[in-house]
Structure 1
Amino acid sequence: MKGNDPLPPLSWDSRRIQLQGFMTGLHQLEWLLVTLIVLYLAIIGAPDENSHWLLITTALYFGFSLIASRLQFFGSRHRWLLAIHTWVMIGFITWFLHSTQGVSGPLTSLYLLAVVTSALTLGVLATMLEVMVIGACVLLLFELGDQNLTAPSNLSLVSINLIAFLIVGYLTSALVDGIQVSNRMLLEMASRDPLTGLFNRRAFNDLVQPIHAMARRSRRPYSIVVIDMDGLKDINDTQGHGAGDHIITALAQQLTDHTRSSDLLARYGGDEFVIMLPDTDARGAVRMLHRLITDPGEQASPISIGVASYPEHGDSFESLFAHADQAMYASKASGGNRIRVHGAPQAA
């Protein structure tokens, strides 16, 4: 496929899949925060003057997290909703610290939950921005608590906490980025044919399903083309498998040059290739494939081609592929190096 491949990234967007996986962890972190605060209030006790507001705020925050966990509005296009969660978490922690012991107590480390949440889902830049906001909240808490920030003990406390937040946020974000790179590499290995660089059979079968569903909804035609090389076994037997591989890669390049960016091209196995041509009926597919036949390029082996089109020749991808495969074998039986449309009395 070409670099500007517009195919829907449904099954192959590792970032989106990873964000969806982090959703469960996000709500668990929020509930862990509520649990720690409830334990603190149960063991240490709430301050008399702010106890009712503190309990109300904790209940509201827990309700916000609980409702959000039941709503399926998260996705790769709604990362700003993840940011809202972290901003709300920072605001809640700041209110709790202001209502209890301020930043001089041990619960300042609760900000780490917000830092980790941002690092897991929003990336390095957003996390560093939130660490700066946390620093501003800490300074605000000092101001509201009438504490002297320039005192050595307070200054060292703030510095150590902010440095810890920066280190944790950066390392966690870097780890997530490394996981995403590894996922993309594994995905590329699992979905691409190593010899030609085209999609393999598994990837083609997965990617073709949303295109088929879209064609059914919009009542638009598409064509399935099955291509098989004639005489590859003889080339492997007489010239070696290296020569056979060269012929296969040359044909793959020729097919890539003759397909559109919207077409789905794959090496289906061995010397068999398959193409899905969206918005193309059988007549249009034959016109495109005729140019392929008359422009052999570097590949020296003739090819047999079978075509089946939706909805003319079937209502499912499986039936269309079977019909195109049968047409390809009929083309091969007729002498090869020709195109046959399913149901047509003779090759095109």
Structure 2
Amino acid sequence: MKVQDPIPPLSWDSRRIQIQGFMAGLHQIEWLLVTLITLYLVIIGAPNERSLGLLLTTVTYFGFSLLASRLHFFGDRQRWLLAIHTWVMIGFISWFLHNTEGVSGPLTSLYLLAVVTSALTLGVLATMLQVVAIGACILLLFQLSGESLTEPANLSLLGINLIAYLIVGYLISTLVNGIEVSNRMLLEMASKDPLTGLFNRRAFNDLIKPIHAMSQRAQTPYSVVVIDMDGLKTINDTQGHGEGDRTIKALADQLKDHTRSSDLLARHGGDEFVIMLPDTDVSGAVKMLQRLITDPVDEVPPLSIGVACYPEHGDSFDVLFEQADQAMYVSKRLGGHRVHVTGKGETP
């Protein structure tokens, strides 16, 4: 039996959705950094010989933040854009510290903004690597300032800062990972039928949209199949609903065995199932469904099946589903256990 991705990335990638949500927060952190540095320059001031350079660097960094907030070049690869943001932030903070009080001043805590940004968006490993890079920057700043790292005060400052960065980065990354797992569980619960494990109607209607749009752009066909069991009511009435549920589950397993990983399969309600077959015309769909009918399962009663194909039978999924649903009822009226293509005669 084939295992399908429980949350296809087209619409249900929770990590991608989470990163998109954090993008707005990232720019707010960057603007907070610029605001703090601007306040420092206004209140404390900067060395006269470096004030112009600091001002130009701050303005350049702010311009980078504004530009990156409107940059859509990276598209789905926003993690790379976020990584660039954090590395530029670390470089900017290091440059600012080098030109002001160095790492002995209070502004060393600005590195926490980079750590928080990385932890929120890039995960534990990337955050730990950035903490190591921050540690290297602090060592370089000590070297450039001429201070001795062997002095107890400097060693304590370096150790305390690095421990704080590690703890903050690890805790936030762990929290974000927990949120991601919870989101995936909630998305799966909202998109899956609890009895069969297939997609439910809500998820199916959402996931077919990009497939339909792709077929429109590429001018490729796809088929919509509606399947209904002929004897479920009798099973429920004579053997109980528990046996009816086992029958529905058996049909779901049979359908999984006869569909491809690229096919979209869902329980549409009750004993009705729907399948979207990408890149499949009517003849291909009928061949696949004939194999389904000629390979019966003891627990599954006869099936009534209706088929409609894009673009032959309609130019929207709603129309195609209605056509396939009507074809299924035609199949049922003709005695069931057959495939009927909309607008055509029965396919025995």
One fold, TM greater than 0.5? Answer: yes
Determine the C-alpha separation between the residues in 2 that align with 1:7 and 1:343.
Answer: 35
Report SS of the residue matched to 2:85.
helix
The corresponding residue for 1:116 is 116
Mapped partners of 1:198, 1:278: distance in 2: 18
Within a 5 Å distance, the mapping from 1:269-280 to structure 2 comes to 269-280=269-280
The amino acid of 2:313's aligned partner reads H
Counterparts of 1:226 and 1:16, CA distance in 2 = 32
Whichever residue aligns with residue 176 of structure 1, its letter is V
Shift of 1:70: 1.5
Counterpart contact for 1:339–1:347, Cα < 8 Å: yes
Is the contact between residue 339 and residue 346 of structure 2 (CA under 8 Å) also seen in structure 1?
Answer: no
Distance 2:138 2:204 in 1: 53
Q: CA offsets, 1:162-194, max 9 Å, x none? A: 100000011111111111111111111111111
Distance 1:2 1:178 in 2: 28
Q: Following TM superposition, where does structure 1 have runs of at least 4 consecutive aligned residues deviating by more than 6 angstroms? A: none
Q: Which residue number corresponds to residue 305 of structure 1?
A: 305
Deviates further, 230-239 or 243-252: 230-239
Output the amino acid matched with 1:65.
Answer: S
Deviations, residues 97-139 of structure 1 (Å, cap 9, x unaligned) = 1111111111100000000111111111111111111111111
Q: Distance in 2 between matches of 1:298 and 1:5?
A: 28
The whole-number CA distance in structure 2 between the counterparts of 1:7 and 1:183 is 11
Secondary structure of residue in 2 paired with 1:153: helix
The number of residues matched between the two structures is: 348
Instruction: Identify the residue that residue 318 of structure 1 maps to in structure 2.
Output: 318
In structure 2, the residue matched to 1:342 is 342
Structure-1 residue corresponding to 2:293? 293
Amino acid at match of 2:165: F
Match of 2:261 in 1: 261
SS in 1 for 2:48: coil
Asked if 1 retains the 8 angstrom alpha-carbon contact of 2:19 and 2:78, the reply is: no
| Matched-pair contact (CA < 8 Å) for 1:222–1:310 | yes
Match of 2:49, SS? coil
The 1-side partners of 2:291 and 2:29 are apart by 59
Structure 1 residue 72: deviation in Å? 2.0
TM-score scaled by structure 2? 0.97
Counterpart contact for 1:250–1:298, Cα < 8 Å: no
| Residue of structure 2 in register with 1:126 after alignment | 126
* 1:46 pairs with 2:70: no
Q: Is the 8 A contact 2:223 2:278 kept in 1?
A: yes
Relative distance call for 1:300 and 1:121 in structure 2 (3 A) is closer
Matched, 1:233 2:242: no
Which residue type is aligned with residue 93 of structure 1? I
Report the counterpart of residue 202 of structure 2 in structure 1: 202
Deviation per CA, 1:17-55, whole angstroms, max 9, x where unpaired? Answer: 111111111111100000000111111112212111111
**C-alpha contact 1:251 1:298 (8 A) present in aligned 2:** no
CA contact (8 A) 1:304 1:339 kept: yes
Output the CA distance in 2 between the equivalents of 1:289 and 1:60. Answer: 63
- Given that 2:215 and 2:221 are in contact with CA atoms closer than 8 Å, whether structure 1 keeps it comes out as yes
Partners of 1:6 and 1:261 within 8 A in 2: no
Q: Which structure 1 residue ranges, 5 or more long, are not aligned?
A: none
Query: What's 1:332 paired with?
Result: 332
Q: Is 1:136 aligned with 2:130?
A: no
Indicate if the aligned counterparts of 1:304 and 1:337 stay in contact, CA closer than 8 A: yes
How many angstroms apart in 1 are the aligned matches of 2:25 and 2:7? 30
Q: Percent identity?
A: 76
Aligned residue type for 2:59: A
* Cα distance change on mapping 1:75 and 1:172 into 2, 3 Å: farther
CA–CA distance in structure 2, aligned partners of residues 238 and 8 of structure 1 = 39
8 Å CA contact 1:6, 1:262 repeated in 2: no
- Larger mean CA deviation between 185-194 and 79-88 belongs to 79-88
Please list, as runs of the form range in 1=range in 2, the aligned pairs for 1:78-97 lying within 5 A after superposition: 78-97=78-97
Maintained 8 Å contact 2:258/2:292: yes
Is residue 115–residue 130 contact of structure 2 (8 Å, CA) maintained in 1? yes
The gaps in structure 2 that reach 5 residues or longer are none
Q: Is the 8 A contact 1:308 1:320 kept in 2?
A: yes
- Please tell me the residue identity of whatever aligns with 1:229: M
Q: Distance in 1 between matches of 2:44 and 2:7?
A: 57
Q: Residue deviations 1:255-279, cap 9 Å, x none? A: 1111111111110111000011112
Q: Describe how 1:63-102 pairs up with structure 2 within 5 A.
A: 63-102=63-102
Partners of 2:130 and 2:303 in 1: how far apart?
Answer: 60
The CA distance in 2 between the partners of 1:60 and 1:85, in whole Å, is: 13
Question: Partner amino acid for 1:332?
Answer: K
Structure 1 residues 328 and 16, CA gap change in structure 2 (3 angstroms): same
Q: Is the 8 A contact 1:115 1:168 kept in 2?
A: yes
